[in-house]
């Protein structure tokens, strides 16, 4: 199940965002599994992926950005990322997009580039959180949007993209698994 919360993080941003993510995880684990945890129950793998040592059949991913926090709780590996749509830094394009993605992106109308930049960014971040390799995996997955349909080169995975009041939220999960969202703002 996917949980999200708009947050006022105007002061002490990182701490408020972090705490909001942990609270969403606690809420999700309680609703889905009846588990009550503390932050001490969350461990970190070698490359930084968080996990619950005592609950090996329960997976989660947390993301936050200015003003939004989200979490997915699932019986299988998963990844989630969110970003607010804003101006992007063009120098980042070369670091995260594959050659084919860059060719496609370069042809976009300038009025929609920011939106699609953050769609691609969050998809790639969600994938990196799924694998546990984080941003190091951004170029290890490729997307295209032929005929308005999102496709990836990872046939064993499903990707979902939602838009929430100026934010993009993307999910990566094993093929055939549903992220079970309470909102209906799916765009891909």
Q: What domains can you pick out in the chain, each with its CATH number? A: 2-174 (3.90.470.20)
Residues with Cβ within 8 Å of 51's Cβ and at least 6 positions away in sequence, in order, are 42, 43, 44, 45, 59
Q: What are the φ and ψ backbone dihedral angles of 157, each rounded to 5 degrees?
A: -125, 155
Q: What is the pLDDT of residue 23?
A: 97
Q: What is the pLDDT of residue 60?
A: 97
Taking only the tens of pLDDT, the chain with its 188 residues reads 999 999 987 777 889 999 999 999 999 999 999 999 999 999 999 898 999 988 778 999 999 999 999 999 999 999 999 999 999 999 999 999 999 999 999 999 999 999 999 999 999 999 999 999 999 999 999 999 988 899 999 999 999 999 999 999 999 999 999 888 888 899 99
Q: What is the pTM of this model?
A: 0.95
DSSP-derived secondary structure letter, 59: E
DSSP per-residue string spanning 114-128: HHHHHHHHHHHHHHH
Q: What is the pLDDT of residue 24?
A: 97
Q: Beta-carbon neighbour count of residue 3 at 10 Å?
A: 22
d(CA 21, CA 1): 14
Q: Residue for token digits 């032929």?
A: 146
d(CA 30, CA 41): 14
d(CA 49, CA 132): 5
Rg (CA), the chain: 16
């Amino acid at each position: 199940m996917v949980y999200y919360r708009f947050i006022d993080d105007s002061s002490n941003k990182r701490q408020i965002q972090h705490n909001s993510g942990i609270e969403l995880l606690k809420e999700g684990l309680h609703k889905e599994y009846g588990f009550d945890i503390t932050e001490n129950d969350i461990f970190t793998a070698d490359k930084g992926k968080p996990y619950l040592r005592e609950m090996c059949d329960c997976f989660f991913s947390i993301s936050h950005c200015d003003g939004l926090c989200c979490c997915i709780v699932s019986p299988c590996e998963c990844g989630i990322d969110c970003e607010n749509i804003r101006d992007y830094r063009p120098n980042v394009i070369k670091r995260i997009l594959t050659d084919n993605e860059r060719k496609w992106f370069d042809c976009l109308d300038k009025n929609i580039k920011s939106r699609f930049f953050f769609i691609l960014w969050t998809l790639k971040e969600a994938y990196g959180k799924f694998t546990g390799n984080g941003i190091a995996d951004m170029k290890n997955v490729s997307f295209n949007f032929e005929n308005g349909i999102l496709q990836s080169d990872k046939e064993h995975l499903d990707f979902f993209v939602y838009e929430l009041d100026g934010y993009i939220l993307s999910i990566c999960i094993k093929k055939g698994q549903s992220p079970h969202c309470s909102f209906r703002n799916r765009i891909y």
